[in-house]
Amino acid sequence: AQSVTQLDSQVPVFEEAPVELRCNYSSSVSVYLFWYVQYPNQGLQLLLKYLSGSTLVKGINGFEAEFNKSQTSFHLRKPSVHISDTAEYFCAVSEDFGNEKLTFGTGTRLTIIP
């Protein structure tokens, strides 16, 4: 069964500094990988996804993530954060094997310090 680990539950970052949110997954088959964002008091919004092809995926709001199969990672990055990036970020995985299950990590709360 697949699983997702987000090691950092909270990440404080100064405004305009770069940020990396870490995500590692476990699966015995090929996977699809996702990052979702949840702004305060709002629902989930898809930030970006990796299905196949280029391992560097660009998403909305200047975020990007890189799929690394050998390290089973899908870290999220942004070169310069803004106050508006304050949110909770969830990494998720589904398996490319007819498995409909979408499994989420425990989330990383990103706090931007002015």
Partner 1 sequence: EAQVTQNPRYLITVTGKKLTVTCSQNMNHEYMSWYRQDPGLGLRQIYYSMNVEVTDKGDVPEGYKVSRKEKRNFPLILESPSPNQTSLYFCASGALKSWGTEAFFGQGTRLTVV
Judge contact between 23 and 91, C-beta under 8 A.
Answer: yes
- Choose one: 20-28, 43-51, 66-74, 78-86; the region binding partner 1 (CB under 8 A): 43-51
Judge contact between 4 and 92, C-beta under 8 A.
Answer: yes
85 vs 95 by CB, closer to partner 1 = 95
User: Interior CA angle at 81 toward 105 and 22, to 5°?
Assistant: 25
Site for partner 1 in 1-40 (CB under 8 A): 4, 6, 9, 32, 36
Q: How many CA atoms are closer than 13 Å to the CA of 36, on its beta-carbon side?
A: 15
43 binds partner 1 (CB under 8 A): yes
- Choose one: 44-52, 54-62, 66-74, 79-87; the region binding partner 1 (CB under 8 A): 44-52
